[in-house]
Amino acid sequence: MTSRQFPHGFVWGAATASYQVEGAVTEDGRGPSIWDTFCATPGAIANGDTGEVACDQYHRYPEDIALMAGLGLGAYRFSVAWPRIQATGTGPANPKGLDHYSRLVDALLAEGITPWVTLYHWDLPQALQDVGGWAARDTAYRFAEYAALVESALGDRVSHWTTLNEPKVASHAGYGSGIHAPGIDDLGQRMRATHHLLLAHGLGMEVLRAAPGRDHTAGITLDLSPVVPVTDAPADVAAARRLDGDSHRLFLDPVLYGRYPADVVDDLGGPAAFDFVQDGDLELAGAPVDFLGVNYYRRIFVRHSPGEGRLEAATVLPDGVPVTAVDWPVEPDGLRELLVGLAKDHPSLPPVFITENGAAFDDEVSPDGAVHDQQRLDYLRGHLAALHQAVEEGVDVRGYFVWTLLDNFEWAEGFAKRFGIVRVDYDTLRRTPKDSAAFFGSVARANAVEEA
Ligand code: IFM
């Protein structure tokens, strides 16, 4: 066994998102979100599942905090549900909604766990979708107002903020393929949604920076993967470039440099197709961040596939690579490759936090009542070793949040796919830490991972 020690002060935490864990969707003045509506759409979600109850974290957060404290975790990354703060996405704050998060923050701090707040993890108030959602520019300004309400209530105790989680998924899956809420499949709306999410990020950063008397650490989380052509054939290489551009650089370049990448603009129809961009938008989106949150799950292998979608790029599974329960290849070294590549391509890359990494497996409860999720444990060990290598190679990574604390509502997959280090029995809502939880706790405590 080799012990790989992480730098002093490295942050170890767990992540969740409001709609995936909270439940209590009609409680204390919460308004409907686009996910409530989408879940009510026949066929949208596997098994007709909904987030109505989810893990009931809205009521059971003390138990979840105790679990994290028992594991020795130093941080909890959770998101605030916008429709709890403003039921219709506008107007004054709902005091009961704010109180909930205020209690959650106090309870975390009492256990020495640092709250990391994400302002938007996809649960847009339905009333805003009714007037265009992210395809409407106004939604970005509504987001800034909402961000200010949350900051003013929690900013005395919360100093780590993420504006948006995975804006690509919000725009591309929500407005570009329709597999996520609000279920729209329209390239024009998707492009507007992308831009308005980036604008919302910029406006949100402005709010966080301007908060009087605070010294916040603020950034954005993007989902990033190395994109690898399956062969060296120019057509495959070009398809990989298009997919990487559309999925990653379309977000990274505005955030890091305040501009859209020229090749991606061309792929998406040229400057005329971006006529919704207004003066100053990209400067806002590109204002400096204190950190870049990176969600890493997999490498993406691409082959040119004429006629397949707008990008003519098909994602393929390489032979012989193990996959998770959602058919994502298990590629620990892809995390090292991604981070080293980011640092090389972007010399002024801000400090990085891995804000999500983890895996779904079909866990079983053993006769002894435990969940021996060796596959997840191996997955985490391998990825943490790869992360450590990236740090040794000079990448400024400052923390890691496992996805996810609890088995939860996995969007279109419903509850069928379990990503948690803690099992949730959806009949009783009982929590059972899996073997991977004990493993992750030992890593957090030692600030080191043992590698075989
Ligand atoms: O569950 C999601 C999360 O909400 C965003 N990142 C990927 C996770 C696994 O699919």
Among candidate residues 22, 151, 166, 331, the one labeled active-site is: 166
Within a 10 A sphere around the Cβ of 27, how many other Cβ atoms?
A: 14
* pLDDT band per the 50, 70, 90 thresholds, residue 309: confident
Within a 10 A sphere around the Cβ of 340, how many other Cβ atoms?
A: 16
What separation in Å is there between the alpha carbon of 212 and the centre of ligand 1?
A: 33
403 touches ligand 1 (CB under 6 Å)? yes
Residue 125 identity:
P
| Backbone torsions φ then ψ of 358, nearest 5 degrees | 170, -170
**Contact by Cβ (8 Å): 292, 337:** no
What number is the average pLDDT over the span 96-123? 99
123 touches ligand 1 (CB under 6 Å)? no
* pLDDT band per the 50, 70, 90 thresholds, residue 310: confident
Query: What pLDDT was estimated at residue 339?
Result: 99
436 touches ligand 1 (CB under 6 Å)? no
What separation in Å is there between the alpha carbon of 297 and the centre of ligand 1?
A: 9
End-to-end CA, the chain: 5
Among candidate residues 22, 151, 337, 356, the one labeled active-site is: 356
Say if residue 389 carries a ligand binding annotation.
Answer: no
What separation in Å is there between the alpha carbon of 410 and the centre of ligand 1?
A: 7
* pLDDT band per the 50, 70, 90 thresholds, residue 2: confident
The per-residue pLDDT for range 61-101, each reduced to its tens digit, is 999 999 999 999 999 999 999 999 999 999 999 999 999 99
356 touches ligand 1 (CB under 6 Å)? yes
> How many residues in the chain?
452
> Which CATH homologous superfamily contains domain 2-225+247-294+324-445?
Glycosidases (3.20.20.80)
Apex CA 30: angle with CA 174 and CA 191, to 5°?
20
pLDDT, averaged across the chain: 98
35 touches ligand 1 (CB under 6 Å)? no
Task: Report DSSP state, residue 169.
Answer: I
Ligand 1 atom nearest residue 165's Cα = 5
Q: Which residues contact 308 (CB under 8 A, 6 or more apart)?
A: 314
The per-residue pLDDT for range 199-244, each reduced to its tens digit, is 999 999 999 999 999 999 999 999 999 999 999 999 999 999 999 9
Structural domain spans, the chain: 2-225+247-294+324-445
Q: Which residues contact 26 (CB under 8 A, 6 or more apart)?
A: none
| pTM of the entire predicted model | 0.98
**Six token digits for residue 28:** 């204390």
**Contact by Cβ (8 Å): 117, 161:** yes
Say if residue 297 carries a ligand binding annotation.
Answer: yes
Told to judge if 356 belongs to the known catalytic residues of this protein, a careful annotator would answer yes
The per-residue pLDDT for range 417-437, each reduced to its tens digit, is 999 999 999 999 999 999 999
Residue whose CA is at the smallest distance from ligand 1 atom 2: 410
407 touches ligand 1 (CB under 6 Å)? no
200, burial (CB in 10 Å: exposed 0-12, middle 13-18, buried 19+): buried
Told to judge if 364 belongs to the known catalytic residues of this protein, a careful annotator would answer no
What is the C-alpha to C-alpha distance for residues 333 and 351, in angstroms, rounded to an integer? Answer: 20
Distances (CA, A) of 91 to 83, 86, 101, 142, 205: 11, 7, 19, 9, 20
